[in-house]
Structure 1
Amino acid sequence: MQQVLKVISLLLTYPDQELHGAIGELRTAIGKAPGISDTHRKLLDKLAENIGALDLYDAQERYVLLFDRTRSLSLHLFEHVHGESRDRGQAMVDLMAMYEADGLEVGAKELPDYLPLFLEFLSTKDGPEAADLLGQISHIVVAMRGRLKKRKSVYANAFAVLEGLASGKPDAALVRELLEMPEDDPSDLDALDSIWEEEAVTFGGNAGEAECGPDRLQRQMRAHQRKPEDGAMVQNG
């Protein structure tokens, strides 16, 4: 499972020259990855093949239109659960602390809730823990898969596999709430600028206490920051 999560993390990053040139290696890794079904293997291979077959400029343009200019398809997890709320800042701090507690270094230009980064973190965990953490964002994964499928995007394949790897079932009400969000027009740059300007995030200790994200993930992030003598443990329920 760890190898598959790492591959998906790479496939969901911006397709630069390095990624484009490594598609052959990624397809080989997909073919050899243990712990996934043939169906999931084929879905990921099709996505990798598609990215590699496109002209690099076309692959990059498609990626930007999908994930950078479409709020409802944002690859930043807390965009979907916190939006413009100031709670997003505290959630960012907690997630960063969770990464740092496990020795994962995050670049200065990266936000901790970026899905490929979160998947890279999960790829360092054992299977059950990774599946549990993935299950806690499964409502976002399912909603994004639905939106991408509606657009007939091959990127839906990655989210279908993530859904299959996650433990448990997503909350149907949360999925429905996310799918009810209005779709953005990636060609309307003025409207997009207005949205992002309204959603400036306070990334620091002055942000409010996060209430969702989802709650279990929030509790686990908190648990990673507690000292051993506090007797804190990650809860599963």
Structure 2
Amino acid sequence: MNAVPPTVPARVRTRLRAAVRRPARLTPEETRDRALVLRLLSLALQYPDAELAAARPTVLAAVRALPPSPAATELAAFTTWFAEQDPQTLERHYVETFDLRRRSSLYLTYYLHGDTRRRGMALLTLARRYQAAGWDTSGGELPDHLPVVLEFAALAGTGAGEAPLRQHRRGLDLIHRALESAGSPYRHVLAALLALLPPPSRADEEAVTKLAAEGPPNEDVGLDPYGTYGHGEFAPPDTFVPPLPAPPASRPEGAR
């Protein structure tokens, strides 16, 4: 989608953007199905421990029962692969994909704020959003972890619930690009999620391309855009370590 022409008055441009980003009004059945898709996406992006591995037949059946949609098609492609792999392969692929590569990290505020002080404030704001909705955020994960954000979206609905996903659309696009480049089956999960969101603007696409080339903001002058590893060495291509934790003083209570 192209950006709104600058000749349109500012107030009208604002209203047009809001209309484009706001999901269409859904029927109760569509709302229920959308929430189920979001929960399945959250589940798919969690670490494939023994409990999740054992639940694969149930997850596969739930995906196959979804009404036809682009998101359902992408989820079916992922869960078919997911159901066929042995547990050790799933665990190893997950760690290599999400824990060892910054370009496909699942911590969304990293892409917007990098390892800066602003990231800590963004985490606190997100945690307060959850708390204001009456949602318990003491599960142990940081509030910007994508499975957590997806579960909140499923519970709170298309408006406030999906707002964090829309806010971090550019980070989601970058994760999807990285997964496609790596040939990971998890690319289908991100494709399913992006199918639920409004299409990117030209500015979004340009920002993602720049982010892919330069990396997110970093307050450590002179370091590689994606950070260093070990004792100051630059990380070789595609061997990114996970984003640094947010500053302890800015973390929401109960997160680690």
Aligned counterpart in structure 2 of residue 114 of structure 1, from 135, 145, 155: 145
Distance 1:68 1:205, change over 3 A: closer
- Cα distance per residue 1:162-208 (max 9 Å; x no partner): 111012425122211222147x9xxx97367xx8699452143599x
Counterpart in 1 of 2:57? 24
Residues 1:2 and 2:35 aligned together: yes
1:14 Cα deviation from its structure 2 partner: 0.3
Please say if residues 102 and 243 of structure 2, whose CA atoms lie closer than 8 Å, have aligned partners that are also in contact: no
- One-letter identity of the residue aligned with 1:147: A
Residues 1:11 and 2:40 aligned together: no
Counterpart in 1 of 2:249? 204
Quote the Cα distance in structure 1 between the aligned partners of 2:40 and 2:75: 9
Aligned counterpart in structure 1 of residue 94 of structure 2, from 24, 38, 63: 63
Please say if residues 23 and 49 of structure 1, whose CA atoms lie closer than 8 Å, have aligned partners that are also in contact: no
Please say if residues 14 and 60 of structure 1, whose CA atoms lie closer than 8 Å, have aligned partners that are also in contact: yes
Aligned counterpart in structure 1 of residue 207 of structure 2, from 174, 181, 189: 174
Please say if residues 108 and 144 of structure 2, whose CA atoms lie closer than 8 Å, have aligned partners that are also in contact: yes
Counterpart in 2 of 1:101? 132
- One-letter identity of the residue aligned with 1:50: W
Quote the Cα distance in structure 1 between the aligned partners of 2:243 and 2:166: 30
Aligned counterpart in structure 2 of residue 46 of structure 1, from 66, 77, 81: 77
Aligned counterpart in structure 2 of residue 79 of structure 1, from 101, 110, 129: 110
Counterpart in 1 of 2:4? none
Please say if residues 120 and 247 of structure 2, whose CA atoms lie closer than 8 Å, have aligned partners that are also in contact: yes
- One-letter identity of the residue aligned with 1:176: T
Provide TM-score, normalisation by structure 1.
0.74
- Cα distance per residue 1:42-99 (max 9 Å; x no partner): 2212211212211111110110011001111110001111111011111111111111
| 1:103-182 matches, cutoff 5 A | 103-170=134-201, 171-181=204-214
Please say if residues 60 and 80 of structure 2, whose CA atoms lie closer than 8 Å, have aligned partners that are also in contact: yes
Name structure 2 gaps, 5 residues minimum: 1-33, 216-223
Counterpart in 1 of 2:13? none
- Cα distance per residue 1:186-231 (max 9 Å; x no partner): xx97367xx8699452143599xxxxxxxxxxxxxxxxxxxxxxxx
Please say if residues 126 and 144 of structure 2, whose CA atoms lie closer than 8 Å, have aligned partners that are also in contact: yes
Counterpart in 2 of 1:223? none
Q: Which runs of 4+ in 1 moved over 6 A?
A: 195-198
Q: Which has the larger radius of gyration?
A: 2
Distance 1:76 1:197, change over 3 A: closer
Two-structure CA RMSD over aligned residues (Å): 2.7
Please say if residues 45 and 147 of structure 2, whose CA atoms lie closer than 8 Å, have aligned partners that are also in contact: yes
Please say if residues 93 and 203 of structure 1, whose CA atoms lie closer than 8 Å, have aligned partners that are also in contact: no
> What secondary structure, in the 3-state scheme, does the structure 1 residue paired with 2:138 have?
coil
Name structure 1 gaps, 5 residues minimum: 208-237
Distance 1:42 1:108, change over 3 A: closer
> What secondary structure, in the 3-state scheme, does the structure 2 residue paired with 1:33 have?
coil
- One-letter identity of the residue aligned with 2:98: F
Quick one: percent identity of the two aligned structures? 28
1:128 Cα deviation from its structure 2 partner: 4.9
Distance 1:162 1:200, change over 3 A: closer
